[in-house]
Amino acid sequence: MSNPLLEPIHGVSLQDYAAISAKLVSGVAQADILNALGIEPAVYEEASALWVTRMQEDQTWEVTTLYGQYFGNADQHPKLSGLNVAISEEGQANLDKLNTDRYFYEELCGARQAAYQYGLDGAQWIQENFGINLGDFQAVAMKWMEVQNADWDSVPHFASYQQQKQAAYAAKFAAEQGGNVADDVVF
């Protein structure tokens, strides 16, 4: 028996919804996405709200799990695969490295977190410094999560590495901002 929470909403499948979300955070214009799918904006807005509700209601996590998989594979969507924002040569090289080098991925996760700690938009900082937009970054994150779920023994190692990188970037951001507020406090 199939899960009724996975049935399309107004013709918008979960795969469509996840791919739309991924393309939106990648910077693709909503109008372009909806045109490619043949969906009116009002239909998308209602379907979007209902998909969120379904994910909240699903106690099996099946909808959310599939959403994550579809989000991570948005470039394989039959109607949206060709819709992308232009990426620089350097950005593409960094994105390729992010896809294949777990240490680079963990480093940028740490950098993003440190940026947020220092009042910067971490996703924007990654975009400006590495040419990788949030949608592409999150798609890669979904892929690394699948790898991690298959190899739990690696989690402590990579978590430690990410924390080390986060601390290093935090020091960098603190120095750029003239230090931390309490750097001169001695106990």
pLDDT value at residue 94:
97
Residue 27: the pLDDT is 84
DSSP state, residue 109: H
pTM: 0.68
- Provide the pLDDT for residue 146: 86
In terms of DSSP H, where are the helices of 10-118? 14-25, 30-37, 41-57, 62-72, 89-100, 102-117
- One-letter amino acid of 152: W
Collect all residues with Cβ–Cβ distance below 8 Å to 42 and sequence separation of at least 6.
Answer: none
Q: How far is CA 14 from CA 49, 65, 71, 142, 178, in A?
A: 12, 11, 10, 16, 47
pLDDT in single tens digits along all 187 residues of the chain: 488 999 999 999 999 999 999 999 888 999 999 999 999 999 999 999 999 999 999 999 999 999 989 998 888 999 998 888 888 999 999 999 999 999 999 999 999 999 999 999 999 999 999 999 888 898 899 889 888 888 889 899 999 999 999 999 999 999 998 876 555 556 6
- H-helix or E-strand spanning residue 167: helix 155-176
